[in-house]
Amino acid sequence: MKCRKCTISAVINLRQHRLALCREHFNEWFLGHCASTIRKYGMISPGDRMLIAVSGGKDSLGLWDVLTRLGYQVEGLTIQLGIDEGGQYSAKSLECTHKFAKDRGLILHELNIQQEYGESVPQMLQHARAGEDKPCSVCGLVKRHELNRYTMANGFNVLVTGHNLDDEAAVLFTNSLIWNTSQLGRQLPVMEDRGEFAKRIKPFVRFYERETTAYALLNHIDYIEEECPFSTGSRTNHYKTILNGMEDEHPGLKYRYYLSFIENKKAGLLNFAEDRQYVEYLCDQCGQPTNQPGLCAFCRLVGRKI
Amino acid sequence: MVTLKLREKDYTLPGGIPLSQAFKRLGLDMGSHLAVREGEIITEDRVLQDGDVIKLIPVISGGSQ
Ligand code: SF4
Ligand SMILES: [Zn+2]
Ligand SMILES: [Zn+2]
């Protein structure tokens, strides 16, 4: 297969776009497509102070690289979760992140959950309650809370994350299977600033995961290949595999599934009652938004030490 | 024979088939992996030759949002 733009061999075939590209033209397409996503959804305005959440994986490091190449100044934040069961996941992810930032002279902030709250995420898991009993839901709760807190407390106004189209399609699949209207209402490539919640943007939402992986490989980004030990058998990974099986037979299906959802929402054709733009309560302890009076879910979790 | 390496596992298949066929025979989908031959990512139409060593890179990652 030849590159559509020149005559040399293609390294990747983007079947949903009927586009095969060589390394050079893939890079050019990738930067352009990301820039167009940023414009299309009004993600970044002049004067924004951006903080990107970096895990050491292909998506977050790739995105930091792309934003820098597009001329944006973005500082990084890495959260040490203390996940070291059966390997050195957190330690290795920190190593990749450090190296990436150092090589490019980028500013990296670090937050250590154990130092901050006296417990690592796996320790918190041991006293989690029903509904929080899955590693990823506890970990997700901690990350969401801490990313927002750190962004707000340090003078940033935009939090950037590396979610790709496969991540978003898997979330959409999870939530539409059970018609979780409040979650469906909240799923957008941009979550506007809502007082105590910083604006959140996902500039990689129009890329498939194999494209973000290809970008990292072709640009020699040293990312952590090892997976978090808790991700094996996770529901998200299961749904991603199902969607990829369908995509193999029907190229472009994932792309349309997620992007037409977003387009229809933007056009007002899908209205979810819980599409809330306001915050109901503020946590008594940390002051972050919560949907019930008293303590937020995060403060309840860390308050329940064994 | 062609050797395909995925994480710690090695699979072998006869040469002369395109990469897309190799994926099918191993029960893998193209969306979840990239294939690298001699340091270069290759497209699914490329024919695998006897003696080729192909590294399959899993692309799926992550848990929750
Ligand atoms: S896979 Fe789950 S537990 Fe592991 S880092 Fe991601 S969200 Fe946290
Ligand atoms: Zn080309
Ligand atoms: Zn709180």
ipTM: 0.94
Q: What angle do CA B8, B11, B15 make, to 5 degrees?
A: 145
How far is the alpha carbon of A73 from chain B, nearest alpha carbon, in Å?
24
Q: Across the interface, which of B29, B32, B64 has its CB nearest the CB of A136?
A: B64
Does A132 have pLDDT greater than 80? no
Judged by CB atoms closer than 8 Å, whether chains meet at B61 and A230 is answered as: no
Q: Across the interface, which of B43, B61, B62 has its CB nearest the CB of A1?
A: B43
Report the pLDDT averaged over residues A259-265: 96
pLDDT digits (tens, 9 = 90+) for B27-62: 999 889 999 999 999 999 999 999 999 999 999 986
Q: How far is the CA of A293 from the centre of ligand 3 (A)?
A: 10
All domains of chain B in start order, with CATH: 2-58 (3.10.20.30)
Judged by CB atoms closer than 8 Å, whether chains meet at B61 and A58 is answered as: yes
- Which residue out of A160, A223, A236, A249 would a mutagenesis test of the B interface target, given it has the greatest number of B Cβ atoms within 10 Å? A236
A242-276 burial, b at 16+ Cβ within 10 Å, e below that, comes to ebbeebbeebebbbebbbebbeebeeeebebeeee
pLDDT digits (tens, 9 = 90+) for A35-77: 999 999 999 999 999 999 999 999 999 999 999 999 999 999 9
Query: How far is it, in rounded angstroms, from Cα A52 to Cα A64?
Result: 7
Which ligand gives the minimal distance to the CA of A289? Answer: 3
Query: How far is it, in rounded angstroms, from Cα A201 to Cα A188?
Result: 9
pLDDT category of residue A169 using cuts at 50, 70 and 90: very high
Contact list, B44 vs chain A (CB under 8 Å):
13
Whether A83 contacts A122, CB under 8 Å? yes
Query: How far is it, in rounded angstroms, from Cα A139 to Cα A127?
Result: 13
Does A99 have pLDDT greater than 80? yes
Query: How far is it, in rounded angstroms, from Cα B18 to Cα B47?
Result: 4
Report the pLDDT averaged over residues A200-224: 97
How far is the alpha carbon of A236 from chain B, nearest alpha carbon, in Å?
6
pLDDT in the model for residue A278 = 54
Percent share of chain A, pLDDT over 70 = 95
Report the pLDDT averaged over residues A192-220: 95
pLDDT in the model for residue A196 = 83
Of B11, B21, B8, B16, nearest in space to B54 by CA? B11
Does residue A182 belong to the interface with chain B, where contact is any CB pair within 8 Å? no
- B interface with A, Cβ–Cβ < 8 A, is 29-34, 36, 40-46, 57-65
pLDDT in the model for residue B64 = 47
Q: Report residues whose beta carbon is within 6 angstroms of any ligand 1 atom.
A: A 83, 135-136, 139-140, 228, 230-231; B 62-64
Of A211, A186, A195, A209, nearest in space to A262 by CA? A186
Q: Is B18 exposed, middle or buried (0-12, 13-18, 19+ CB in 10 A)?
A: middle
Contact list, B5 vs chain A (CB under 8 Å):
none
CATH architecture of the region A30-265? 3-Layer(aba) Sandwich (3.40)
Report the pLDDT averaged over residues A20-45: 98
Q: How far is the CA of A303 from the centre of ligand 3 (A)?
A: 10
Q: Mean pLDDT lowest for which of A229-233, A235-239, A261-265?
A: A229-233
How far is the alpha carbon of A106 from chain B, nearest alpha carbon, in Å?
24
